[in-house]
Structure 1
Amino acid sequence: MKILCWNCRGIGNPTTVRELKQMLVANDPDIVFLCETKINANKFSSVRSRCKMEGCLAVNANGKSGGLVIMWKESNKVEVQTYSSNHIDLIIKLENDNPIWFTEFYGNAEPNKRQCSWNMLRRVGQSVTEKWIIGGDFNAILDNAEKEGGRGKASALMEDFREVVDELSMADLKTDNGWFNWVNNRDGTALVKERLDRFLMSANDMARFPFMETKVIRQSTSDHDAIILDTEGRKSRDRHRDPRLCFKYDVCWAKDVEAKKIIKEAWQKGSADIMGKIEMVGKKLGGWQYKKLKQMCTQMGTLQENINKVIDSQGGTYASNKLKALRIKLGKLLDEEEKYWAQRSRIQWLKEGDRNTRFFHVRAKNRRKKNNIARLKDMDGYWKENTMDISKAIREYFQKLFKSNLNSNTLLNLDYIESCITGEENDRLLKDFTENEIKEAFSQMDPRKAPGIDGLSGNFFKENWEVVGEDIIKLCHDILRGVKNVDCINYTIIVLIPKIKEPVDMTNFRPISLCRVVYKIVAKVLANHLKETLRHALAKIRALLFRGG
């Protein structure tokens, strides 16, 4: 289970929403707690929808301050208990159905009202019957080591915080990276850094979570960094398939000069056959993309480390300009990463029934386990658990499904069907296809749709039309005129969309075919060509039905 907490300092800003979405994609939390949302609860539904969380509870802001929201991925695992302007209480069911009590907490920012916050936690503690975790922005520190710069905190305030932690038998969970998570972003001696955001856990239950991990997630918009708790963060992971074995054009490199150069050279050096050119692009671009992504991840990791060093450095002059420069660089890399994961998050394709599972493609790093078909019942009801047996069960299912039981010699009697196509319409259907029709068909397609077996989406052809356009038009033209057989592009990937959360056999999946872009263009041209004539023909048939003819 993963819990993310963030003082977002206003969720109405599109940049903040973007940064939130990036965090969700990169970290895949089950629970998300935001404080200081600064918006009313009724305005949060659109944010929840964009973040693709199943449920949420929002607490109104007080004017332009305050405001809490809790979002969760699975409603059947969350039960809201109590809430106020400073907290939200949940009972969460873990995978083994053992419940855990989680309190999202926002401590009062005014020191003279801080005691009210501690008393509220004491009241909640009296109701807790399960393992307890508290997380959020406490607006308080436990000791002077949690603050650097500015005037020292009053000893009484720190003592009050330590007292409530001891009284509730809670343990402070130190983060594995970073220390300070709030910076006022001022220059020189005016700079202040504090550790205000944290997780606390009932001390007696710490041993039950040996793999627990907590981290700081550095931000570029809010002065507060986010924190995340993962109950299995230190657990060893299964090895995954090398992404180099499955090429897919990454739209995040669409404007990259080096990528465009590689594509142009590969396309021009490829064979005269367009399928050979496409294969050459996949070979050349696949390795480059893999190295580029690793390089980007390394750069982001280095920037995160440098930001941590600047923020957590003890003593000396604080280089605020350096921090700003580092955050700008990180923001640019986050933009590229957002495009990369947006292509794999498949939000639109999920809506339209066109999302892939790990059996063919990996949706995203943090979704691999969910999308993997770990086991499957074959047609005789026996469980299959290794890759070869699962593949065999799927193949046998489709072989039986598509096996025809009809007599191929059966002739259909069409004498009773009245002709609906006029001579003029027939001439229009027989008219030669034009280059403009092919271009128009391509422009009508959504370039973000999933790629076919060659790994090239519509975005590839759109961004590199000057290089590939002439060859694509010629191939489509040859197929439409019957000069070339459509078989050269008629290869698809069948992907499996789960109909239920935990599929058992093949009837629990909906198969979707992913075609090559060239095939889609040809199909679209034909559809456009037939559209007007079919409309007239169907109108005639409907008229006959109404007359009872």
Structure 2
Amino acid sequence: MRIKILSWNVRGLNDSRKRSTIKSLLMKWKADIVCLQETKIEDWGTWDGQWVLGGDLNVCRFDYEKFNCHRRTRAMENFSETILDLGLMDLPLRGAQYTWSRGTGLLQASRIDRFLISSEWNDTFKTIKQVALPRAEGFLDSVKNWWSSYEVEGNPDFVLVQKLKYLKKDISTWNKEVFGKLEEQRSQALNDLTNLEQSSEGRILSEAENAQMINLQTHLEQLAKIEEVSWRQKSRCLWLKDGDRNTKYFQSVANANRRYNCIDKLKIAEHVIEDKREIKEEILSYYQHLYTENEPWRPLARFENLARISEAESTWLEREFEEEEIFSVIKSCALDKAPGPDGFTMAFFQHAWEIIKYEIIKALRHYHQHCHMVKSVNATFISLIPKKKRAIELRDYRPISLISSIYKITSKLLANRLKTVIGKLVSGSQNAFVRGSEISDATLIANEALDWKIKSGEPGLLVKLDIEKAFDKVSWSYLLTILRQMGFGERWIRWMKFSITTVKYSILVNRSPVGFFPPQRGIRQGDPISPFLFILAMEGLSKMIQQASSLHWIEPFKIGRDPTSQANVSHLLYADDTLIFCGAERSQVMQLNLTLFIF
């Protein structure tokens, strides 16, 4: 089933021209569902089709839709009048009284989410109903009780990590008790329902039996929804395909992912191995070698022309972590992405924030002051994602780091701060990261430079670089030196040093962790701050090429006819993809080779 959805922020549907435009769009696109936003009209008589309005409307209709509310407010009355004026139907909500709450109790709870439908929609979909998806009853209450029962002494980071370990164990036990017997619960409910239905054929059921039958039907629906949610999380399917949203679809995605990511054979040199133990040993050996620093000595990087942040900006970057900033980071994270070694997704932290926030805030403030946490926070799984079908060599796999939830929050906090100043630190050659620029600008500049070079009739050299395993081979000492020369404060440097040098890796081979080893170089793909650190690391190469160009060791391509206003283009960078423009003379090629060798 394929559905076309048309959404338009129309702003003023009373305008006849806009109504004509909408009709034309409908005829052209033949949309199945139409969303018109901010229509701002009083008379909806112009719309004759089937339509539905749904979402977080941020207002209740009746006083009983808000906990502990004993009067109907003017906003409620206006909302009800609007529904009547629009000729909409407000379907009853099944499965819950409220759709929003804060905290673990009902001190703040209300129904602010709803679907409103037109009579035409109701005529077409006669069996439509509005149902609140079930939540496991008492889960947050259980979390609150468990969390408050743990007695742990030590530094705040240690306390947080230990309490999360205890909580993980309790949730695992609870999960087996509540969700581990879904099939058994469903069979029992179906059996009880069948017995009642058979009894109803021979006699009139009592009021209690009728109520039991309704409860059993509701319970079966809840079990089906719970199973769907479970398989959706296992599938890591964060979008829906062709409108399908059912357990079978998510189950097939989860199983397909497992088959696709399974490493059942591996090509090493010219030999193919299929023994599971040998495969694990080869993969572990490969990544231990990859993250080993092969050069015990490197020249000290000194750049005279690096951009610097101001002292005020450095102080701002190192300011205290506040509760609002921390929770904003948690809310911005994808909810059900694969967890790291601690087993917690960001969905849990969002829902349980009011329960666990005190320990999180204390741990982060301790980190702010001391610039380190317990080592387990930086434990990392490396998940091997195939770049293509039938991958058989290790170079065909992309290593993605699955980091712990606490480290993810910390790293994203720092990444959000860093991205506010990074535009000041990178040169125009890293065009995509300069504020106000577009990624496509680099392509346009490259084409323009090439066109002018061809028109000039002079020989030139265009070098395309793709740095192999770029993230994995970043030198820690080089990166920290770059940060110091860019004006970052000592506290920030210590934060970055903790992030990149205290890591310990385990490789996930067919969903099983292998090894536990410390790297000597590299930054993690999957770490929120890594892309920004890599950009700053590449700025060193940019400055080296820029200096070689300014000293006329290499001649850049020139754009324009007038020598006094020509633009020089020596290089363009986007992440680990680099274009270098220079003359074709042997001396320039040798100088470029030396520059790349030093870098």
TM class, shorter-length: 0.3 to 0.5
Q: Which has the higher contact order (CA 8 A, sep 6+)?
A: 2
TM-score, normalised to structure 2's length?
A: 0.43
TM-score, normalised to structure 1's length?
A: 0.46
